[in-house]
Every structure is written in structure tokens, then in C-alpha cells.
Structure 1
């Protein structure tokens, strides 16, 4: 099985556990004299089986991520960390540029000449250029990660 397939399976198992959890909760209590819509104990046991399989799958995915190399980024785990930090860095730089430009904020425009003028404390154009570079880096790392996900075999 390829790593990408295992990731899709993990997402499906996670969704299944959430569905089972909701069904257990809705069937856990019922009025005296009535029968519950579903057998909560059976649903709980099924959720336990899905969770056991999910744990095994997550262990294999993590083992694979820690072993498989992704070009200059090191292991897949390293590349994922790099992408996460690049996304955070991009969000910070973009927010700083938006704040300095006054984007989305009302009341910064002067109504009268006697009102104080708001000035940017940061170079907006430079921040936007930096955000563009970060966005490109994010895309490049993400492409390497996705390619590796489809090429790498899941480890045992």
C-alpha cells in the first residue's frame, strides 16, 4: 500500500469513529419501556475495533514519515514540519502586511483634515513580496510531500 492510500484510509477511519461516537451517544440512554434505536454496546465495540485498526495505521504512517527521504527537506516528517512552519510564517507576514495597509479595518480613513492620520509602521510592499516568496516555498514543499506520498510504500 502506498502512503497516500494509508492517509486516505486514516481519514476515513477517523470519520467512521466520529460517526460511531455520535451514534453511541444518541443510543446510550432511552426511556423505560422503549427500545433504543441502536445497540449502544455493539456500536461501542465496533468503535473500539476501528480505533485499534486506526492506531496500527497511524503507527505505520508515522514510521514511514520518519524514514522516507524527501529531497533537500530530509525525511517526510521534516518536510511536514517545514511546511507547517512556512504556513504559520506566511500567515504572520500576511497579517502584518494587512494591518500595516489598514486592510479590512474601518475608521482608519480620515473624515476631516483635523483628524490624526494613521501611518504604516511596516513596509507593506516588502511584506507582500515576502508573503509571495513564502507561498511559493509552501507550494514547492507541498508538491514534494504529495509526490512522496504517492511514491513511498507504507512500512510495517
Structure 2
């Protein structure tokens, strides 16, 4: 199994778990004399099985990410961490740019003028650079995911 396939399976397991949790909650109580649409005990057993499979899969994904080299200096896990940090940093700066760019209308000259405390232009340039760096590292990671075999 390729790493990318394992990541898709992980996402599928996670969705199934969330759906099962909702279905279990919907079938916990019924009016006296009625039966639930689905047996919560069966769903709880299924949930336990899926969680066990998911745990095993995540361990294999993590082992693979820690052992596979991304480049000469970093593992795939290192690159994933850097990518996530680029995303977070870009998100914060993009929000700052959005807030700082909002224009506050004054209805008369006597109203207080609101000005930005940061350079929107400079921050937008940083956002663009972070976006590019994120895309580059993410593209390489995605490509590797389809070529790497999942470790046991």
C-alpha cells in the first residue's frame, strides 16, 4: 500500500468514526415500547473495531513519515511539520492583512480617523512568499506520498 492510499484510508476511518458516533447517539433512547432504528451495542462494537484499525494504520503512517527521507537533511515528518507551520504562519498574517485592510468610513471631518498600525503591503508580500513556500513543499510531499510504500 502506498502512503497516499493509507492517508486516504485514514481519512475514511475518521469519517466513519464520526458518523458512527452520531448514529449511536441518535439511537440511545427510544420511547417505551419502541425499538431503536439501529442497535447501539452493535455500532459500539463496530466503532471499537474501526478505532483499532485506525490506530494500527496511524502507527504505520507515523513510522513511515519518521523513517523516509524528504531530502538530505529532513525526514518526511520534519517536512510535514514545516509545512504545517508555514500554513499556520500564513493564516495568521493573512488574517492580519484582512483586518488591517478594512476601511473605516468617516461620516464627517470631526470623527476620529482610523489608521492601520502595520504595513499591509509588506505583510501581503510575506503572505505571498509563505504561500509559495507552502505550495512547493506540499507539492513535493504529495508527490512522495504516491511513490512511498507504507512501512509495517
| Common fold: TM-score over 0.5 | yes
Q: Give the aligned partner of residue 150 of structure 1.
A: 146
Q: Which moved more, 1:110-119 or 1:59-68?
A: 110-119
- CA gap 1:117/1:73 in 2 versus in 1, 3 angstroms: farther
Q: Give the aligned partner of residue 95 of structure 2.
A: 95
The residue matched to 1:154 in structure 2 has which SS? Answer: coil
Q: Give the aligned partner of residue 80 of structure 1.
A: 80
Tell me if the contact between 1:73 and 1:79 (Cα under 8 Å) persists in the aligned partners: no
What whole-Å deviation, never above 9, does each CA across 1:61-87 have from its counterpart, x for those lacking one? Answer: 111111111126711211111111111
Do residues 117 (structure 1) and 95 (structure 2) align?
no
Structure 1 residue 137, shift from structure 2 partner: 0.4
- CA gap 1:94/1:35 in 2 versus in 1, 3 angstroms: closer
In structure 1, distance between residues paired with 2:112 and 2:38: 66
The residue matched to 2:15 in structure 1 has which SS? Answer: helix
In structure 2, distance between residues paired with 1:32 and 1:55: 38
- CA gap 1:41/1:66 in 2 versus in 1, 3 angstroms: same
Q: Give the aligned partner of residue 48 of structure 2.
A: 48
**RMSD between aligned residues:** 1.7
Q: Give the aligned partner of residue 33 of structure 2.
A: 33
TM superposition score normalised by structure 2: 0.90
Do residues 139 (structure 1) and 135 (structure 2) align?
yes
Q: Which runs of 4+ in 1 moved over 3 A?
A: none
